[in-house]
Structure 1
């Protein structure tokens, strides 16, 4: 009986430690390239949930998703939150997410850094690669 109880208690402790270590990531790296508003907002929603868990979010917007970073560019309002991907992006920045556009976006869209929303910078590929390879972060790509 004692031996069975000891085995059960040991198993419980090991599984609890395993569950605790599952959430040890420092944060989330999110790369969004999709033009689709529903896809974009899903990346934003998951990023917001990550921030609410006191984790870091590093977001890189590339290709058509780079338009979200540009002043004056609109994105559609979606249900059920009645928010657009751009509105969610701005909320993420206010909550501390680090948001960048791919270095290829601006020159290929015939734009410069002056068009970027406040809080958004141009990514440095070596820094993005370093974060993506960092095992302390989870990676999502949309």
Structure 2
């Protein structure tokens, strides 16, 4: 009798744990809004790493806006240094997350203040519309990260 009771209790605990795990997954955000302004290559790379994990491991969306010094990442001519431990660069990772489906935009202030045009941008990167970025940041289904 004790063995049957023990199995029933363990079974109930397992079902409860699985239910909590599903509830946790159901409460997760739809994705991330990532705003990158830093000129630090380590900081930029961390933004790319977490965006990669969001896309790859969690199957969530990533919307990234590059502004200020980080806007340079959006340029076709930019190559940032490779960093340890994986020997990858922010510019390499940016292209990777775009290939994984991340939406990447440059803030509308960047191009005119950097003396650049939309033709200077990596294919697939658009100029952000402030109203759309603001709406995205206010969307409760997304988490916001700023670097």
TM category (shorter chain) comes to 0.7 to 0.9
Pair 1:44-2:48 in alignment: yes
Q: Could you list the runs of 5+ residues in structure 2 that have no partner in the other structure?
A: 1-8
Shift of 1:20: 3.0
Shift of 1:71: 1.1
Aligned length: 135
Structure whose CA Rg is larger: 2
Partner of 2:133: 128
Partner of 2:144: 139
Q: 1:112 aligns with which of 106, 117, 128?
A: 117
Shift of 1:17: 5.5
Q: Please list the CA deviations of residues 37-94 of structure 1 after superposition, one character each: whole Å capped at 9, or x if unmatched.
A: 0000000000000011211000000000000000112211101111110000000111
Q: 1:35 aligns with which of 21, 34, 39?
A: 39
TM-score for the superposition, normalised by structure 2: 0.84
Q: Could you list the runs of 5+ residues in structure 1 that have no partner in the other structure?
A: none
- Residue pairs, 1:76-91, within 5 angstroms: 76-91=81-96
Partner of 1:73: 78
